[in-house]
């Protein structure tokens, strides 16, 4: 369900051309929400929209108390959640932001200022020097390197981090790159028994269509509270399927 915000958003700075929605996916992230969200200044964006996957730890109640708009998804899966909340996104640009400590709030002004210069997408890269990830283990570090390398080789990208959620992109790209079409996800999800997100496919298609893309370096600190929700092998297999199928269709 969608609730009306308690407080009106701060006016958009006169020097900023685009409107921005900060999209905050949550699932039992009350500890991180209380630690991270107070560091996000409301005047940085035009809309703060919390997208909740069915939290039972008070995350939703906290978000509403803070005056954030809240959408509680009805179908499981992060992509399904994105699709449900898409009509509620008012910004020309959407910034996807993890409130678990992995996304640094202080990078938001630079991220928004960069995309406001006319970019289609700007990624906060964990692997663009001098940034580093303190949340990686050996498996995730290798996987992120491999997937990014694959996107660069198959789709002519120049990424250092093609997988990360922390990024800003033009909202219209969801339609233009067909990220909202179930047919691009149905087969790998059925084959590997999982639900996947659209960030990797967004990276591949943005590169292939030669959109204007930039990266800024940004550390990834260890998560704050909550539980890690990665399904590394199944998600990895699904994304690889997408990368190669898109490459074959493109050729």
Residue 243, SS3? Answer: helix
- Residue-wise pLDDT tens digits, 98-147: 999 999 999 999 999 999 999 999 999 999 999 999 999 899 899 999 99
C-alpha to C-alpha distances, 170 to 96, 162, 175, nearest whole angstrom: 11, 16, 10
Query: Please, which residues have CB within 8 angstroms of residue 61's CB and are 6 or more apart in sequence?
Result: none
- Residue-wise pLDDT tens digits, 140-181: 899 999 999 999 999 999 999 999 999 999 999 999 999 999
Which pLDDT score, from 0 to 100, does residue 232 have? Answer: 76
CB 181 within 8 A of CB 82: no
> For 10, phi and psi rounded to 5 degrees?
-65, 150
> What is the Cα–Cα distance from 146 to 133, expressed in whole angstroms?
16
Tell me the HSE value of 155 on the side-chain side, using a 13 A CA sphere.
29
Which structure tokens are listed for 110? Answer: 């630079």
Asked whether the predicted pLDDT for residue 1 surpasses 50, the reply is no
For the chain, report the end-to-end CA distance as a whole number of angstroms. Answer: 42
Which pLDDT score, from 0 to 100, does residue 2 have? Answer: 33
> For 171, phi and psi rounded to 5 degrees?
-60, -35
pLDDT band with cut points at 50, 70 and 90 for residue 190: very high
> What is the Cα–Cα distance from 66 to 30, expressed in whole angstroms?
12
Mean pLDDT of the chain: 92
Which pLDDT score, from 0 to 100, does residue 227 have? Answer: 61
| Beta strand segments in 87-131, E | 93-96, 121-125
Which pLDDT score, from 0 to 100, does residue 250 have? Answer: 85
- Residue-wise pLDDT tens digits, 52-93: 999 999 999 999 999 999 999 999 999 999 999 999 999 999
Which pLDDT score, from 0 to 100, does residue 229 have? Answer: 56
Can you give the pTM of this predicted structure?
Answer: 0.90
Specify the fold of 9-250: Spore Coat Polysaccharide Biosynthesis Protein SpsA; Chain A (3.90.550)
CB 112 within 8 A of CB 216: no
- Residue-wise pLDDT tens digits, 191-247: 999 999 999 999 999 999 999 999 999 999 998 875 655 567 899 999 999 999 999
Residue 20, SS3? Answer: strand
Which structure tokens are listed for 97? Answer: 């932001």
C-alpha to C-alpha distances, 67 to 5, 28, 203, nearest whole angstrom: 5, 18, 32
Q: What is the mean pLDDT of residues 18-46?
A: 97
Which structure tokens are listed for 57? Answer: 């730890």
């Amino acid at each position: 369900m969608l609730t009306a915000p308690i407080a009106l958003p701060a006016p958009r700075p006169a020097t900023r051309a685009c409107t921005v929605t900060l999209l905050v996916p949550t699932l039992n992230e009350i500890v991180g929400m209380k630690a991270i969200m107070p560091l996000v200044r409301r005047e940085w964006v035009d809309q703060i929209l919390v997208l909740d996957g069915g939290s039972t730890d008070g995350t939703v109640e906290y978000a509403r108390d803070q005056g954030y708009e809240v959408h509680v998804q009805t179908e499981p899966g992060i992509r399904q959640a994105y699709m449900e909340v898409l009509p509620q996104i008012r910004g020309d640009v959407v910034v996807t932001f993890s409130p678990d400590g992995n996304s640094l709030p202080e990078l938001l002004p630079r991220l928004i200022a960069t995309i406001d210069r006319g970019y289609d997408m700007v990624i906060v890269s964990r692997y663009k020097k001098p940034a580093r990830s303190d949340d990686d283990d050996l498996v995730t570090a290798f996987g992120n390197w491999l997937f990014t390398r694959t996107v660069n080789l198959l789709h002519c990208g120049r990424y250092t981090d093609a997988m990360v959620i922390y990024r800003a992109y033009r909202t219209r790209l969801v339609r233009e790159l067909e990220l909202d079409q179930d047919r691009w996800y149905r087969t790998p999800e059925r084959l590997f028994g999982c639900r996947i997100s659209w960030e990797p496919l967004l990276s591949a298609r943005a590169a292939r269509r030669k959109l204007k893309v930039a990266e800024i370096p940004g550390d990834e600190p260890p998560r704050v509270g909550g539980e890690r929700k990665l399904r590394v092998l199944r998600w990895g297999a699904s994304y690889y399927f997408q990368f190669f199928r898109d490459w074959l269709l493109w050729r």
